[in-house]
Structure 1
Amino acid sequence: MTAVVVSDTSDRPTELGSGGVAMPAAAPDGRPSGEPARTEPAPSALRVASTMLLLLSFVVLIFATYIGAFSSLHHARAQYTSYANFRKELAQATAPVGPTRPDDPSKLLAQGTAVAVLSIPRIDLREVVFEGTTGSILQNGPGHLRNTPMPGQSGVSVIMGRATTYGGPFGQLSTLNPGDTFTVTTGQGVSTFRVLGVRRGGDPFPPPVAAGGGRLTLTTADGSPLLPSGVLRVDADLTSPALPTPPMPLTRRDLSTAELALGTDQFAWMQLVLWGQALVAAAVLLAVARLHWGRWQVWTVSVPVLVFFCVGTADQIARLLPNLM
């Protein structure tokens, strides 16, 4: 049998296979010359690093979304449950009426306890007010400054609230006008207030409170959202009879800096470190899992895990931000 040689116009050499049929010569790496080169997989360390970077970018996105939008869900839930419980306390006459516990006057009222309901029809606001003004308490709603009398009692009472984050319940205070009225309900009854005006840093103070009279100052952040530049206050005089005022055992020195206007809670650093470590550990484990699982399997597991740790971390970071923001 005569061998038939098929000419190849390319520069690649040919080989004769069985039966004398010409076959393409093998490439230097052992693959057939007509087969495209195989891409080597990326090194494991590079894949882990790229996956971690992607996961951490996802974490930052979740944090920004939570603080900017979904923190209001935290506030709404706290208000819903607290309002139901406080109504029950009002009906049973067990709601607190002073800085000490109703069942044990020798002990201070626990911070975070519901003490009043603030209703301002002009801005469609109805909020449960809690004892204390730290950032973590103001996540749930407005807070009563502990060294001031309860709203409706003699003297000047102060209630603080957030302007933007966690529902921003006091975000519309600047729209109140002199003469607007609102009410505050406490364990002693309903008190009515009339707005004197809105003041910012550098504005003159209102006239002193009349002897035996009461005043309520609503306080929040002033300036651009998430970038407070000062403090905004709304002063309102009590127009209903002043309620009995129990002794005040607290002074300005008994308050921490976290309870003052635009204060930050430095005790949140420890919990933030713990939550941050857990978040980074979860990101590392999920990045390593990418070496053994498919992309979609990793994301299916990582989304709920990262959302959980992001929400916990965001709550701690919020405590380090100004409490009126």
Structure 2
Amino acid sequence: MAQSELLESPAEPEPRPETGAGAGNSRPGRPRRRDSEPLRPARPSGPVRRRPVLQALGLTFTLLAVLVLGFFVYLYGLSGLSEQRAQSALYKTFAARLAVGTAPTGPTAAGAPVAILNIPAIGVHDLVVVEGTSAEQLTQGAGHLRATVLPGQYGVSTVFGRDATHGGPFAHLMELRRGDRITATTGEGTATYVVESFGTTADPAPDPTRNRLLLETGAGPGYPTGWAQVSADLWSAPVQTPTAWPAVAPAETALAGDPDALLPLMLWTQALLVVSFAGSLAAHRWSRWAALLCTAPVVLALVWALYENLSLLLPNLY
């Protein structure tokens, strides 16, 4: 055949694919969709995005739950470490004042150490008693009610101590028995007391002895709803008593909280929110790990201060 004839001849049509029963076996690949099958919606190629509002709410509630749980960890665990550190510093200060004869024998500044208690029957050894019974003072250990005499002096001396938080120095107070001995060391020497009776909010300790020591702590199932009391008679010779004692503020009475801690609590909360927002913004625009390393220590310090002030709103004998 000539070349001109090849060029002028029409092209043969391409064979159509078979549609019969054997067509599926002749072509490899995915099976063909039947006309009766419904169309399936196409799946999105990218990742499914969550709703930002729900995600923000979930994160907020998670952080609140962590803060609440952390407060209980602080209250029943870490606050005891603060009390131990305060007791160590107070003991050194009071021992130095005893050595040079400058320990207080009358009214003194709030928070100053005034005595050292030893109650061997319940494992209390060298417990420093500070002046004052507000919630803040009782975070450091036991507190002396300022309207009463110091231990060892003529009259009734009252000492408060927490039951569960901040070390709970009086947690086992009601395990004492009649006849157990208590010693109290002040700037005037060491006084010896013997446990005589017990009492509660509804029924105070029945003890008519003029010279005695009252020890009080919180009482109740879990959260304190009243106070428990131990009365001990003075067996050693009483020492001289000052003629005047200051009045007791409402925040120093049994089971009272410290309302002055409310304003610092609000300020620490605002500071925590500002730092948290700044850290989130830095993580979004800068680097997540770098922002975490910069803000985490500040956040922890603010949370600690927040917990400290929040605990002061609770009853001082708790």
Measure, in 1, the Cα distance between the counterparts of 2:29 and 2:178. Answer: 97
Scaled by the length of structure 1, the TM-score of the pair is: 0.80
Q: CA deviation at 1:305?
A: 3.0
Deviation at 1:207, TM superposition (A): 3.4
Q: 2:138 aligned with 1:138, yes or no?
A: yes
5+ residue gaps in structure 2? 1-12, 18-26, 34-40
- TM-score, normalising length from structure 2? 0.82
**2:234 is equivalent to residue 238 of structure 1:** yes
Unpaired stretches in structure 1, ≥5 consecutive residues: 13-27, 100-108
Contact 1:271 1:316 in 2 (8 A): yes
CA distance in 1 between counterparts of 2:245 and 2:70 reads 43
Cα offset for 1:52?
4.1
2:81 matched to which residue of 1? 73
Matched, 1:86 2:82: no
Distance 2:291 2:216 in 1: 46
Q: 1:204 to 1:90 in 2, by over 3 A?
A: closer
Equivalent pairs, count: 289
Could you tell me whether the CA contact under 8 Å between 2:282 and 2:288 is conserved in 1?
A: no
Aligned-partner SS, 2:224:
strand
- Cα deviation, 1:48-88, whole Å, max 9, x if unaligned, reads 55544443333222222111211100000000111011100
In structure 1, the residue corresponding to 2:213 is in which secondary structure?
A: strand
Match of residue 16 from structure 1: none
Equivalent pair of 1:176/1:198 in contact (CA under 8 Å):
no
Q: Partners of 1:301 and 1:171 in 2: how far apart?
A: 40
The aligned residue for residue 111 of structure 1 is 110
What CA distance in whole angstroms lies between the structure 1 residues aligned with 2:122 and 2:76? Answer: 21
Distance 1:291 1:48, change over 3 A: farther
| Cα distance in 2, alignment partners of residues 136 and 275 from structure 1 | 17
Work out whether residues 114 and 130 of structure 2, in 8 Å CA contact, stay in contact via their aligned partners in 1. Answer: yes
- Bigger relative contact order, structure 1 or 2 (CA pairs below 8 A, ≥6 apart): 1
Identity of aligned residues (%): 38
RMSD value, Cα = 2.7
Q: Residues 264 and 309 of structure 2 are in contact (CA less than 8 Å); yes or no, is this contact kept in structure 1?
A: yes
- Residue of structure 2 aligned with 1:286, choices 272, 279, 289: 279
Judge conservation of contact 1:48–1:291 (CA < 8 Å) in 2.
no
Q: How does 1:1-325 map to 2 (within 5 A)?
A: 9=30, 37-39=45-47, 41-42=49-50, 50-99=58-107, 109-126=108-125, 127-203=127-203, 205-210=205-210, 214-225=211-222, 227-250=223-246, 254-292=247-285, 299-325=292-318
Query: Does the 8 Å contact 1:98/1:150 carry over to 2?
Result: yes
Paired residues of 1:56 and 1:283 also in contact (CA < 8 A)? no
Would you say the 8 A contact 2:142–2:161 is kept in 1? yes
Structure 1's 286 and 56: CA in aligned 2 closer, same or farther, altered over 3 A?
farther
